[in-house]
Amino acid sequence: MTNYTNFKVETDADGIALITWDMPGRSMNVIDEKVMQELAAIVDQVAADTNIKGAVVTSAKEAFSAGADLTMLETLGANAMKIGKEKGPQAATEAIFEWSQRLNGIYRKLETSGKPWVAALNGLAMGGGFELALACHYRVASDNPKLRVGLPEVKVGLFPGAGGTQRVARMIPPQDALQFLLKGDHLKADKAKALKLIDAVVPAADLIKAAKEWIKAGGKAVKPWDEKGFKLPGGAVYSKGGMMTFPPANAIYRRETYDNYPAAKAILQCVFEGIQVPMDLGLKIEARYFTKIISSPQAANMIRSLFVSLQELNKGARRPENIPPKKIAKVGIIGAGLMGAGIAYSSAAGGLDVVLIDRDQASADKGKAYTDKIVSGQIAKGRASEAQKAALLGKITATPDYDALKGCDLVIEAVFEDRKVKQEAYAKAGAVLPDNLIFGSNTSTLPITSLAKDYKKPENFIGIHFFSPVDKMMLVEIIMGEKTSDEALAVALDYVRAIKKTPIVVNDSRGFYTSRVVGTYIGEGHRMLADGIPAAMIENVGKMAGMPVGPLALNDEVAIDLSLKILKATEADGGANAVDADEKLLLTDMVEKRGRFGRKNGKGFYDYPEKGPKKLWPGISELQKKTLSADELDALGPDFVEEQKHRLLVIQALETARCFEEKVLTDVREGDIGSILGFGYAPWSGGTLSYIDLMGTKKFVALCEKLAEKYGPRFAPSKLLLEMAKTDDRFYRRFAPVKQKQAAA
C-alpha cells in the first residue's frame, strides 16, 4: 500500500491498484496543485510497476469530485496579471498555456499508459473530476440516486480544459456533445449511460468489484481514437451530419448568448477544430482556447462572483462573529399568499417545521396547497415520491390561530404590502410571541426602520426579502433597520443558510438594494417607449445586453399596478420632481384607463393567451407620442443599438454605485451577487460593480456623462465615481473584503 496526502493506493493479489481519493479536511475532493502533483506520480507509478495490471480510481467521500478548485484558477489569473505587468503580455500567456497543459498531460498519460484504468464513480463527478473519468478506459457508476456527472464550467465563464471538449466530442455525436458542453447540465447515471458517457451502472455495494472485473476480463487499455481507422460518431465536420450540426449550433449559440460569453464560443471552436485533427493536437487546440478564456476579464469576474464570492456568502461571510449559531427548527409565516406559501415550501424543503397563518382556515389551506402543487409536479417528472410529498406536507401546519406561533424560533411576516395590514399582523403576533424572538418582514419596498416602529421590540425586527417565485429564486435580501441588532442579523442568516439560499445584507432605504436597482431597469424601458423606440426593439436590446428578459416583460412579472403604486408613494414622499412625468403618464394609462396589470391578469405590455406563448400587446404604440420608423432606426445604425444597451446596463450599475456610496450596500460581493441572483444582471459581467470595474471608472464616468447629456441627469455620475475616476480606481481594489485585501498585501 502506498499513501499520499490525498490518495491511498492499494494493489490486490490480482495486480489491480485501487486508488482512493480522500482529501483531508475537506467534505469533497477537488483538484488543486497538490492533487495534480500526486496524481501525476500515481500515473507514473502504475505505468512503471510491472506487478500492476490495471487501476481503479474511486473516492472515499460521498461524492467522487467537485472538479477543479476555482480559487486556484482565480489565483492563476492574478499571477498571470502580475507576470504580465513585470514581463509583458506574451510571458503571461505562455505561463497560463504551460499551466493549462499540466492536467491535460496527466490525463493523456493515463489513457496512453498501456494499463487499463477504470473510474468507479460513487457519487457526484463534476468538471475536472469527470474529465478524469472520461480519460479512463471504462466508467462504472453506482446506482446512488444522488449521483450526477457533468461539465458545468461554462456556468462560471470557463469551459472544460482538461480534455473534456475533445473526449466528449469523440465519444458521442457532435450535436449531443455540444448540448452537453454548452448547457453544463448535471446528468443522472442512467441518462449518462444512455449517452454512452458512462459504461455501466451497478449497485453501490458492487461498484469496486464491477470495476475490477472489467479489468480481469481483459479490459482494453487503448481508447478508440488512438486506434487506426477510428471514425467519429455522427460523422466528420465536413459531412452531411456535420453540416446539419455546426451551422445550426452557431446560430443557436448567437441566439442564446448574443456573443456575450467567450467561453461558450470557445467550446464551439474547440469541438469544430479539435475533431478534425488527431487527439494530441486537439488537446493543444483546447489548451490554447482555455488560455485565452481564463485570461479574459469576463471569466475572472464570473469566477469571482459566481463561485468564490457565492461560496463565501453562503458560508456566512457577513454573520456577526460574536453571536453563537442558532438552530432554526420551527418557523412561523404570517400570510399564506403567493410569497408566504413559497416561503413555507422552501422552509419545509429545508427540513424545518412551519406554521402558516392567514385570516381564515381556507386561506391558510390554500397556501399549504402550493407545496402540494409543487411536489406533485416533481412527482410527475420522476423527481419525488408520494411519501416525500406526504412528509413535506406534514411539516406545514396551516391555521388562522396566532397561538400556533408559540415555540417558533423565527417568525416572518409576508402579508400584503400595506402598512395597516402589516400593523395588524404585528399586533396579533406580538401578543403571543416572547420579547426576545426575532421577527422578520418580507416587504419588498417599505422601509424596515419605519415598519419596526410598529413592532414591540424594534431591535428584534429585520427585513427578510424573498424573490418570486420563492422556490426557484436563490437570493434572500436581509435588510438592517436603524435599530436592528446583531443577534437579529445572525438568526436571519442562520435561517437562510438552513433553507440553502444565498443571503446578502443591506442597510435600510426605499426599495433597499435589489428593488431599487431593478426599478431603474424597468423605468429605463418605460423611458425608451417615451423616446419612440419600438417595444420589440426595447425587449431585444435588453436580452442583447445580457438580461434574462426585456424591461417590459420584467415589469409584467413584477406587476404594472405595483410599479404605479411605488411611483405614487415615491411622489408622495419626495414631491412631483421625484418621479418621471412620462413614466407616470404611461403607467397611469396602462393601469387606470386600460386595466393592464401584467401577467397576473393576463394583460400587460404583453398579452398572455391561455394557449401559446406570450406576445407583445399590439396597442403599445398607442401609448407612444412618437414612434421611430424602420427607416429612422436604420439611419441611426448599429451605434444606436449599442447606446441603448448601455442605457439599460449603465443605469443599473450607476444606481448600485449610489447604493454603495449611501452605504445601503457595504460589501462589493453582495452588490454583484445580489444583482445576478436577484434580477439577472448580465452574468457575463460578474455583476453591476464588476461591470464598472470591467470598463474602468474613468471610461464608465465618461459614458455616464455622455448619456446624461443626451438622456437626462439620471445618468449623472455620483460623487464617489467622480472621485474614483481621477485615478481610474476599481471597486474591488478600493473596497475589497478584508480577506482579499490581506491576500493582496
Active site residues: 465
Alpha carbon distance 366, 378 (integer Å): 19
Say which residues have a Cβ less than 8 Å from residue 235's Cβ, sequence separation at least 6: 241, 242
- Cis before residue 248, ω within 30 degrees of 0? no
Query: Which residue in this structure is represented by grid cell 486556484?
Result: 72
Angle of helix 688-695 relative to helix 697-711, nearest 10 degrees? 100
Backbone torsion region of residue 590, taken as left when φ is above 0, otherwise alpha when ψ lies between -120 and 50, otherwise beta = alpha
The answer to whether 173 and 212 are in contact (CB under 8 A) is no
Alpha carbon distance 681, 222 (integer Å): 47
Query: Which residue in this structure is represented by grid cell 473510474?
Result: 119
The arrangement of strands across the sheet holding 330-334 comes to 396-399, 353-357, 330-334, 410-413, 439-441, 461-466, 475-480, 502-507
The answer to whether 120 and 57 are in contact (CB under 8 A) is yes
Nine-digit cell at 331? 418557523
Say which residues have a Cβ less than 8 Å from residue 256's Cβ, sequence separation at least 6: none
CB half-sphere exposure, 201, CA atoms < 13 A: 18
Nine-digit cell at 447? 422601509
Dihedrals φ, ψ of 121, to 5°?
-90, 110
- Name the burial class of residue 304, with classes exposed (0-12), middle (13-18) and buried (19+) by CB atoms within 10 angstroms of its CB: buried
Alpha carbon distance 286, 292 (integer Å): 10
Task: Find residue 476's DSSP bridge partners.
Answer: 466, 503
Tell me if residue 505 falls in helix, strand or coil.
Answer: strand
Tell me if residue 606 falls in helix, strand or coil.
Answer: strand
Say which residues have a Cβ less than 8 Å from residue 499's Cβ, sequence separation at least 6: 346, 347, 349, 350, 352
Dihedrals φ, ψ of 544, to 5°?
-65, -30
Q: Are strands 330-334 and 353-357 parallel, antiparallel or unpaired?
A: parallel
List Cα–Cα distances, 206 to 136, 148, 200, 386, in angstroms: 19, 18, 11, 29
